[in-house]
Amino acid sequence: MATHVSGIYRYEACLDALDAIYDDKKESHEYGLRLTVTNNNMVAMILLLADVLKPVNVPSLALHSSDINLMDVDSKVKAACNELECIIEHAQAHQQEMFFSKAQQLFEECNERTNLC
């Protein structure tokens, strides 16, 4: 399920970049952004969306295509619904291939980076 490339793999690098920018400028909007993206609720939402948006993207791209074939749309929507059902089952079973399963690891990373002063 989580075989596609996701920005979540670059999360720590993004935090490093935000830290470096804040260290250089010491401006409040960098600090605010950094606080936002290290908030546990935000991290959980990012991880959940990384899982959910992949199957939703397939029918969306088909619907926005210039060479749309309306005969294919129904099968793409059904496939997306099936994948979303699988995501629910995997989440309930706490399966490790979901991005959301990485929440505790990223929460710990965020907690280690709380001091920016």
- The tens-digit pLDDT sequence of the chain (117 residues) is 444 445 567 788 888 888 889 888 888 888 888 888 888 888 888 888 877 888 888 888 888 888 877 788 888 889 889 988 888 887 777 666 666 667 777 888 777 776 654
CA geometry: angle at 90 spanning 10 and 111, to 5°? Answer: 40
Distance, CA of 28 to CA of 21 (rounded, Å): 11
Query: What is the reported pLDDT for 27?
Result: 83
Query: What is the reported pLDDT for 101?
Result: 67
